[in-house]
Amino acid sequence: MRFFYACQNPDSGAIAFNMAKVLVVDDDADSRELLAKYLRNSGHRVALAPNGSDALAALTVDTPDVVVLDYKMPQMDGVSFLEVIRCYLRWQSLPVILLTAYPDGPHIRRGVELGIRKTFLKSDFDLADLATHVATCSSPAIAGGPDGPSESPYSPFQH
């Protein structure tokens, strides 16, 4: 059985169907909240984590449809988080969008090797473009298989 969700964006009045479950991982609280607010207003359900370690804990409760991941964080950076999740069969194809303040470097190459879908520079990106990529990455074929996304009753994802 497939469930369809609908949510109206209060700013644009647009109605979004099949909201994605998005895990936003960023150590900067202001950035995390800004991303969460915009993605929720775009019709997605969002869970937050301040670092890679907490993001791993969130994944064990409920797998998101897409992860928006900062590169530079304390405890576990974005690339280390990717290296861990790619070791598990259930997360090997989990779509990940990387946010970074560093346009060049080995972390970008390593992220590509680990299957990131898109990289955004934190200093110069459009929230609407990010929301579009989130929606693209979270199609039903990717997000939970042919029956659409599944959800734990303990899910951290909020509307």
> Mean pLDDT for the chain?
81
Give the pLDDT confidence score for residue 139 in this predicted structure: 63
> Quick one: average pLDDT of 86-112?
91
pLDDT > 70 in the chain, percent: 75
**Which among 83, 81, 67, 80 is positioned nearest to 32, based on CA atoms?**
67
pLDDT score of 17: 53
For residues 124 and 152, the model is more confident at 124
**Domains of the chain (ranges plus CATH)?**
19-147 (3.40.50.2300)
Q: What is the mean pLDDT of residues 100-109?
A: 86
What confidence tens digit (pLDDT) does each residue in 21-50 have?
A: 999 999 999 999 999 999 999 999 999 999
